Structure formats: structure tokens, C-alpha cells
Amino acid sequence: MEPKLPINYSECPLVDIWVHHKPKLFKTLPPEQETGNTEYKFKLCPPTQDRLEQLVSQMQFRLAEGLGEAKYEIGVSDDGSPIGITEEQMQQSLQTLNFMADQLSATNTIVRVRNGTTEGKIVAEVSVRKLSEGKSFTEVRVAACGNVDAGKSTLLGVLTRGCLDNGRGKARLDIFKHKHEIESGRTSDITREILGFDSSGNVVNDSSIQSLSWSEICELSRKVIVFLDLAGDNRYFKSTVRGLIGNFPDFVMIIVAGNMGVTAMTREYYQLCLALKIRCFFVLTKVDICDEATLQKTITELSEILTYEGIKKHPIQVQTMKETLEIAEKMQSDETHEYVPLFCVSNVTGENLDLVRSFLNHIVSVNDWETLQTKPPLFYVNNTYSLPDAGTIVSGTLAQGQIRLNQTLLLGPDSQGNFSPVQVTGIHTNRLPVKIANAGLSISVALKDCSRATTRKGQVLVDVGEPKAVWEFVADMIVTDDSTTLWNSGTENNEVVVHCGCSRQTAKIVQATNILRSSFGSQVRFRYKFHPEFVIPGQRIIFRNGKSRGIGTISRTCELS
């Protein structure tokens, strides 16, 4: 279907506030960059066949730069001047752009239309989304964490079910998967939920219309947000760490109760985001029962954390639809993670929830999964279970490569550090059966000739070859705020709990090049206590010892001893 420019420009999705049905003047843009996912085109009137092939190749490059999403500015010159073109030229340009997108299995959505600098001329901003091979949607993974009773599960229930909460936690009941969670109202394990958007940016899973299954949501969606609901209670901190390290989230949504203020756990989650270099944003809930003074105090506390000396973050409180688009664009090109959005919402009245949905619709995956897809398969086992008809099943995240139906892989390591050949008999992603799974997907894999007793969290599925498990490795570490000295010259048998990928095990600190204490950096040699693990240089790790936290990167591994 050819895109048509609406007669009433206000019909464009996410358009700015219009005055007398006339679009605002488009601001001058920065000059076009050779890299990145943004392309300027003055006009795209019917081109020749050779020119069309060039344009399609150019769009393919922009989509690759944006990991499946690109932005086209029509009526803009290469130096960023929004001169504008006539409505007839705009119609022709949009038809050409639509044809280009069809050649690459992509979709176009008009985001904004404004007046150009030339009288009577207009400029349009168009979002282009690629439909990934083997599935009809792009995927962005968002981890949700926060303090106990901040409203994490309730917020996810409202976002993914399309219905408001009753003020007593009704919206979170569908999110919980354990009986004790329903009884206590607190999450203890990692739960996944999805939110789908169609090609126009509309939410697909709206229960006010009809209740849809995951497969139906995925079939109707062009973009799917996969939420990871992490535990807020400090007792389940190990599950939260596993969720952040082993599931490779693109963003972390830190939920803060507006009437409770910033807690120690809020600071801890933010420090984890900084250490793991994951982009984050804050959502302040319960604004309907929070007075203005208390809410402003919470916002001030968050701003103080974000602007702490040496961190230099720029908090932005999002209050309009225009700001959701702008901050999403900034975060996409923000390699230093400078910008941190703040949203103030109510799960009961629905206040500002549309801003959160709009922001989620416009953020894109920050992981280069297309490049990782070309590498040998590496799948981290996050959970194991069995079904009568399917046998042993392992679930987790495919960190790199591809997994195909009937493929033979190696599962391990076991308690002796060995890997065993297994055959893939089934693959599911977002509860949909698929024949091929690509890097970046959360999948469940059914295995042939494999007993569940031989599987555990923390194992990996790797390509057939000679994978090695190690007892010892060296990592560059730094200890976060705590007064405890974890290692000093002469210290022996000091043990910590090490999180790496989906594995979690006690390890002994064998040696360190410096004192292990708050704010001190050191190269540390660890030795696992019970069995070897599969680790590779470059992996991020976290260790825990009481209230002490250490964060770092594996620099090298040692041979199995």
C-alpha cells in the first residue's frame, strides 16, 4: 500500500502540536554524516532503474548502521537545510521510498511533517524498519528492575495488557508465575513479557480489544519489546545480576516509587548499569498518590545521583510526545550514555503511560547482532526443564551465531569440565516454533539424547570443536562502595561469589596486584571452588561478598588443572 500524505497533517503519528492545522517550521539539522542510520534526501521523484538500485543499496547501508531501523529526512539538503518540496513532489518521494523499502523487506512510517524554509514547501521525517529474516519483527530487550514495592510488575502488566491497575495490584497477577509471588506480591525470579508495535507505532497487545497470545502478538507486530522483570528484593539479588549479565538487555528500566524516594537498591541498580555499560532510563510510579513536594524531592534525588561528580549524566524529564522522539534519537547516537530520561507515571490513572509507550516504540537495539550472527554459535543456558513430549529443554540467550533445527552442538561443561554432543530437535522464540534462531534472541531449545540431570544453569551450547572449561581466570576488577578489604598482601582463602554470563559459583581469590578495597582497581586471579566453567576473555563479571560488590572484565583464562 502506497503511503499517502494526510490532507490534515495532524493525522501523522507523533506529530507536534499544530496551530491552525499548519505544521511548524522545521529546524535546521546538522550536516549529513556518511555513517549512521540517518539519510537526507531533497526529493525522490521517479528515478531511473540504475538510480533506483543505488538508492536501495544506500537504504540497505543505513538500515545496517541502525541495526534494522533508519530515518529519512525528505525535503532536506545534505547540509541540513530544511528547504522543503511541494506536496506533489512529497507524494512521489514517499512512493519511491515505499518501493525502496519493499525491496529490502522493510516498512515506512511518517513520523513528522513540517513547513520548510521556503514558503509553501514541506519537509517530512520517515521511519524505516527492516523486517528480520525468519520473523516479521525487530526485537529490543528491556530489563525492568527497582526496589521492592516500586511497582515493576504492575507497570509491566499495564503496558503489556493494555488495562490499568485497580490500585491493589490487579495488573501484576498475570505477570507472576509462582504461587508465593502471587501471595507476597513480590517477584523472585526472572519473568518475560512482550509488548508489540505495528508498522504505524500502535500497540498490538491491547486486552481492551481482545486477549492475544504471544504468537498472535508477534505475527501482528513489526517491533517487539521483550521485558525482563527482575526481582527487587535484596534476597534475590543473584537473580537480578544473572538477568543483567546473562540476558544482554539493550536498556534497563529502573522503576522508582515516587512516594518512597531513592533507596539503596535504586543506587545499586544504577551502579550496575554504569559498570556493565548498559543504557538506562527511570520511571517514577505512583504519582497519583504522591504530593507534588514529595515527587519533586524524588526527582531531585535522582538528578543528584545522575549528575554526581565524575559520572556527568544529563537527566531529562520527558513530558511531551515530541520529547519522547527527541530523547530516543539522542540515546541512539549517544555512545557515552550521557542522556538519561525520566518518566513520571501512574498505573492507576494512566498518566504519562503513552509517553513511555512512545519512547519504547522509538528506541532501537544497541547490540550489533548482525555481526555476531556470523560467528560460531554460543548459547548461554539460563534455565532447564523437561516436557513429556519434548524431553529436556534449555532456555536462555543466543549470544552469537545461529542455531538450526537438527544441528549437533556441544553442551557443557559438566562437573569434570567435559562437553557432550547433543542434537537440537526443537527451537522456540517468544513461544513461536522456528527452524533457525539468530544471535540476540531469547530461545528455548529441545535436546535429544540429553538427561535433565546433566544440565544446569550456567552451561553453554557451543559449536562442535574443542571448547575448554577453566578452573582459573584473571580479571581486571574494581570494588564498588564498601569499607571491607576483600584481599590484601598475605590474605589467604578469601572467597567470593562470581557471576559470569549465566553461571554463578563460589571462587577463591588466589592473587591480586593491588589491595581489594572500595575504589581500588586490581588485576585478580580467581579459582572456582566446585567445578570448572566456560568463560572467555572480554566477558563482564561481578563478584559478591556480603555487601561488597566487584565489577570487571576477564582479561585471560588459565588452562584446566
pLDDT of residue 432: 77
Quick one: pLDDT at residue 560?
Answer: 54
Mean pLDDT (whole number) for 90-117: 87
The answer to whether the CB of 54 falls within 8 A of the CB of 44 is no
Residue 460 to residues 367, 422, 457, 529: CA-CA distances in angstroms?
A: 20, 12, 9, 19
Say if residue 43 is exposed, middle or buried (CB neighbours under 10 Å; 0-12, 13-18, 19+).
middle
Which one is predicted more confidently, 234 or 151? 151
pLDDT at residue 489, as a whole number: 61
Q: Is residue 17 scored above 50 in pLDDT?
A: no
Contacts of 254 (CB under 8 A, 6+ apart): 145, 146, 266, 269, 270, 273, 280, 281, 282, 283
3-class secondary structure, 235: helix
Nearest to 343 by CA among 365, 360, 330, 364: 360
Burial 152-189 (b: 16+ CB within 10 A, else e): bbbbbbbbbbbebbeeebbbbebbbeeeebeeeebbbb
b/e burial code for range 126-140 (CB count within 10 A of at least 16 → b): bbbbbbbeebebbbb
Q: Give the residue-averaged pLDDT of 476-503.
A: 77
The rounded mean pLDDT for the chain is 83
- The upper half-sphere exposure of residue 25, i.e. CA atoms within 13 Å in the direction of its Cβ, equals 7
- Contacting residues for 251 by C-beta, under 8 A, at least 6 apart: 140, 141, 142, 143, 278, 279, 280, 281, 363, 366
Question: Mind listing the pLDDT tens digit for each residue in 490-540?
Answer: 566 688 999 998 899 999 998 888 877 776 778 999 999 999 999 999 999
- pLDDT level of residue 175 (50, 70, 90 thresholds): low
Q: Which whole number is the average pLDDT over 25-35?
A: 77
pLDDT at 163: 83
Above 90 in pLDDT, residue 403? Answer: yes
Phi, psi of 317 (to 5 degrees): -80, 115
pLDDT at 12: 41
Domains and CATH numbers, the chain: 9-130 (no CATH), 138-367 (3.40.50.300), 373-462 (2.40.30.10), 472-557 (2.40.30.10)
pLDDT of residue 313 exceeding 90: no
Q: What is the pLDDT of residue 25?
A: 57
Question: For position 7, what pLDDT does the model report?
Answer: 35
Interatomic CA distance for residues 481 and 498, integer angstroms: 18
pLDDT confidence of residue 370 = 78
- DSSP classification of residue 310: T
- How many CB atoms are located within 10 Å of the residue 259 CB? 16
- CA–CA dist 233, 477 (Å, integer): 26
* pLDDT tier, 19 (very low <50, low <70, confident <90, very high otherwise): very low
Q: Is the pLDDT of residue 290 over 70?
A: yes
pLDDT digits (tens, 9 = 90+) for 445-470: 999 888 888 899 999 999 988 888 99
Question: Quick one: pLDDT at residue 309?
Answer: 55
Residue 314 predicted with pLDDT over 70: yes
- pLDDT, residue 280, reads 93
User: How many CB atoms within 10 Å of residue 308?
Assistant: 11
pTM of the complete model:
0.75
| Residue 134, pLDDT score | 47
The Cα–Cα gap between 228 and 189 comes to 10
Lowest mean pLDDT among 14-18, 67-71, 117-121, 434-438: 14-18
d(CA 441, CA 137): 12
In a 3-state reduction of DSSP, which class is residue 220?
helix
What is the model's pLDDT at position 307?
Answer: 79
Residues 138 and 223 sit within 8 Å (Cβ to Cβ): yes
Percent of the chain scored above 90 by pLDDT? Answer: 32
Q: Which residues pair with 160 in a beta bridge?
A: none
